[in-house]
Amino acid sequence: MSENYSRGQYQPQSRTRTAPPHLRAEAARRQPSGRGSSPQRRKPSNGGSGGGRGITLIALLVIAVIVGGGVWMWLNRTVYVSVNGQSAEVKIDSGLTDILSVSGVSPKPGNLVSVGGNVLEEGGGTAFTVKVNGDELTEGEIGSFRAKGNEAISFGDGTDVTESSHEEERESQPKLEPASSVGAVTFVSQYGKTGRQKFTVGDISGEAIEGEVIEPVQNVKIESVNVRPENGRKVVALTFDDGPSKYTQRYLDILSKYGARATFFCLGSQIPGNEGLVQAIKNQGSQVASHTQNHEQLTLLDPDALRSEVTQTFSAISSAGGGDTTVLRPPYGALDTSTWAASGGTFSASIIWNLDSLDWELPGVDTIVENCTLGVTSGSIILMHDGGGNRDQDVEALPRIIETLQGQGYELVTINELLATDSRIPESVASGNATIPEGHVWASEVVE
């Protein structure tokens, strides 16, 4: 008892109970974190500062709309430009096509043309040309141009555009160069050779335009002359057409008597059955040449018929023993440049005449003699006939003709011998059997 009293005071013993742990933890959780005795209020979940945040968002949206609208208006504003001298209001950064559409200007477009300059499509070229502030714009500059304002724009008509093309290397075929004069002897002075050349070829049109020459082409050349014997020789050629016939051997006998030679232009159709006469002409020292197969006018024939008329007779002469020849006399003396081109190079020389006996008219022996001797000069070619009708007058006139000419100092020779006296005529032609040389070709087109 004495333990519970001190200094005269009574102090009862305190019995404090300790709360269980889970209750102490709950109490600590609920204890306010701040200092002071006032309990802390919770913030409401809706209302208060949440309303202010919404107002702010709306304000930002309004500002964005205003700013965006201003930017859009700036980007889509209009400016003024001058179009062909007239003021025009256009959208900023407008291209030239848009400017043209609002300007009222209507330039004419160019055309699409071939590599040869022919119109392939009207309006298929450039739509227009244009200058800006006096400077012509290129195609690329036209596409990239954007108006900023105050430009002076001038539209003009469009230009032609050439089709796309590619380059090819081709053979160039020779053409035939016709004779520049007309004489009794027309011959091939040069055979052709192919060349190689670059061409520009249109992808649409297929037209080919000549370009760089890689290897030059060599044309076929035809020349025509009256024979001019050189070295002072006096030579004349007697010629007989339309045989062989029953008169041919009589002519040969007369020629042999006078030591003269002549040329017989035989018809191929007359050779069968007269092969011996063809051989006799050659054996006498005279010359056998062609007067075609059927005496048809060569200038009226198509190319196939023409070549047949020529080659059949050459073959017939050769087969009959008359020798190989590429010399002919065209019926009626008719032979033009187109006929030469169509011949395929089957003959090398065409022989007509510059003195005509007119024996086919049966004018009388005296007239025939005069026609063959008056006006004769060295190099003359005299036309007579050994076939095609009655030739009795020729048989009687021939000795007198030979005597007269020999009396004037003339030598009577074959066509081959006559051609050999003129150096303008190639030796191959004078041989009477010139053909297209190896590595050479003929021409089917004539030089324009």
> Parallel, antiparallel, or unpaired for β 208-215 and 263-266?
unpaired
* CA gap 134, 130 in Å, rounded: 9
Cβ burial, residue 132 (10 Å; 0-12/13-18/19+): middle
For residue 61, the model assigns a pLDDT of 79
- Per-residue pLDDT of the chain in tens (448 residues, 90 and over written 9): 333 333 333 343 444 444 444 445 454 555 554 444 444 444 544 545 566 787 888 878 777 677 666 666 666 799 999 999 999 999 999 999 999 999 889 999 999 999 999 999 999 999 999 999 999 999 999 999 999 999 999 999 999 999 999 999 999 899 999 999 999 999 999 999 999 999 999 999 999 999 999 999 999 999 999 999 999 999 999 999 999 999 999 999 999 999 999 999 999 999 999 999 999 999 999 999 999 999 999 999 999 999 999 999 999 999 999 999 999 999 999 999 999 999 999 999 999 999 999 999 999 999 999 999 999 999 999 999 999 999 999 999 999 999 999 999 999 999 999 999 999 999 999 999 999 999 999 999 999 8
For residue 29, the model assigns a pLDDT of 52
Q: How wide is the angle at C-alpha 268 spanned by C-alphas 265 and 272, nearest 5°? A: 120
For residue 52, the model assigns a pLDDT of 74
* CA gap 92, 307 in Å, rounded: 78
Closest CA to 196 of 162, 224, 168: 168
* CA gap 270, 276 in Å, rounded: 12
Q: What SS3 state is found at 12? A: coil
Contact 194, 107 (CB under 8 A): no
Instruction: Name 186's bridge partners.
Output: 224, 350
The radius of gyration of the chain from alpha carbons, rounded to an integer in Å, stands at 57
Q: How wide is the angle at C-alpha 146 spanned by C-alphas 140 and 151, nearest 5°? A: 105
Please state, as a whole number, how many other Cβ atoms lie within 10 Å of the Cβ of residue 402: 23
Amino acid of residue 182? V
Long-range residue pairs from 365-372, CB within 8 A, at least 24 positions apart, any chain: 365/393, 365/396, 365/397, 365/400, 368/393, 368/394, 368/397, 368/401, 369/397, 369/400, 369/401, 369/404, 372/397, 372/401
* CA gap 205, 120 in Å, rounded: 8
Our measurement of the distance from residue 401's CA atom to the centroid of its chain's CA atoms, rounded to an integer in Å, reads 58
In sequence order, the 6+-apart residues with CB closer than 8 A to the CB of 37 are: none
Tokens read off for 426: 């190639």
For residue 241, the model assigns a pLDDT of 98
* CA gap 140, 163 in Å, rounded: 19
Closest CA to 260 of 235, 242, 290: 235
For residue 49, the model assigns a pLDDT of 58
Residues with a known catalytic role: 241, 385
For residue 5, the model assigns a pLDDT of 33
Our measurement of the distance from residue 215's CA atom to the centroid of its chain's CA atoms, rounded to an integer in Å, reads 17
